[in-house]
Amino acid sequence: MGICEERVCIVTGAGRGIGREHALMLAEQGAKLVVNDIGGEIDGSGRSTGPAQDVVDEIVASGGEAVANGDDISTWDGSERLIQQAVKVFGTLDVVINNAGILRDRMLANMTESEWDAVIAVHLKGTFGPSRHAASYWREKVKAGETVDGRIINTSSPSGIYGNVGQTNYGAAKAGIAAFTVIAAKELARYGVTVNAVAPAALTRMTENLGMGQADDMTKAMMSPRWIAPIVTWLASSESATVTGRVFDVTGQALSVAEGWHRGPTQEHPTDDPALLGAVVQRLVAEARPNANMFGYDEK
């Protein structure tokens, strides 16, 4: 008996990398899976049913239950069909893990409109769509007098919560997902649904072109995407019912709770003369904690 026994889970972008590890570990812990993946390249181009079906075949061969889904979760209809498939095949839905993502990195001065729109669509709308349709399903169950023990687990990134050069599109989407997580957690608590997020750093095909592909064997083992799956699997279980609205930084084998924006040094009743405001701002900035670097620590 695993900690997710009989839990019906959707994992988007589960054909490869981090999503694949989520699906495999959830299945090991007894979950029933809808494995979503359009089978595209890291920039979102192309389609193939192969990656999702390969993961399904692996789960079934190990004695688990899983079905493949190839819907585009960045579309309203695609995300709705995904939720409907889980309910139709398994009779209910307990967990949505929004993991699908693409990269179209570019420095801001050179970024195209399509590079911005594509990344925002897959990450931000691709988190909203499945979450919204799942939330509606759970709300109706509660209205019908049923008990819900639901989970939404989103995927943010160090690029979003800390910031990374060359990723204004990706970072903006991932920061939006972190904010979405906090707000959705407040809204859905009344229905018995928790909402959390992970901000993972791992060696996958999306990061190998960022220099991680040249890492030594020890680093590759430490940064394996399989280290992301345990916290996601625990969050998907009934054991996590008291944890909501949090973002977990998962960098290799290190697990942290990311601490969001807080009000820092404050000047009550600052001057209304902009010519005199500079001294106030300079003092506040000097007293404030510096922004974090890409590793989540204070900039030096």
Residues in a beta bridge with 195 = 152
- Write out pLDDT tens, residues 216-259: 676 667 768 889 999 999 999 999 999 999 999 998 888 999 99
Task: List Cα–Cα distances, 187 to 68, 97, 243, 288, in angstroms.
Answer: 30, 18, 14, 31
**174 is known as an active-site residue:** yes
**162 is known as an active-site residue:** no
* Catalytic option among 32, 74, 131, 174: 174
What distance, in Å, lies between the first and last C-alpha atoms of the chain?
Answer: 48
- Write out pLDDT tens, residues 248-292: 999 888 899 999 999 999 999 999 999 999 999 999 999 999 999
* Catalytic option among 157, 159, 237, 240: 157
Percent of the chain predicted with pLDDT > 90: 83
Task: List Cα–Cα distances, 123 to 25, 75, 98, 109, in angstroms.
Answer: 23, 11, 9, 22
- The residues, any chain, with a CB within 8 Å of residue 92's CB and separated by 6 or more, are 8, 86
- Write out pLDDT tens, residues 136-188: 999 999 999 999 999 999 999 999 999 999 999 999 999 999 999 999 999 99
Q: What is the mean pLDDT of the chain?
A: 92
Q: Pull the structure tokens for residue 287.
A: 């007293």
Question: Which H or E run contains 279?
Answer: helix 274-287
**186 is known as an active-site residue:** no
pTM (predicted TM-score): 0.92
* Catalytic option among 137, 159, 170, 240: 170
User: Which bin fits 163, alpha (ψ -120 to 50), beta or left (φ > 0)?
Assistant: left
Question: Which domains does the chain show, CATH number per domain?
Answer: 8-258 (3.40.50.720), 264-300 (no CATH)
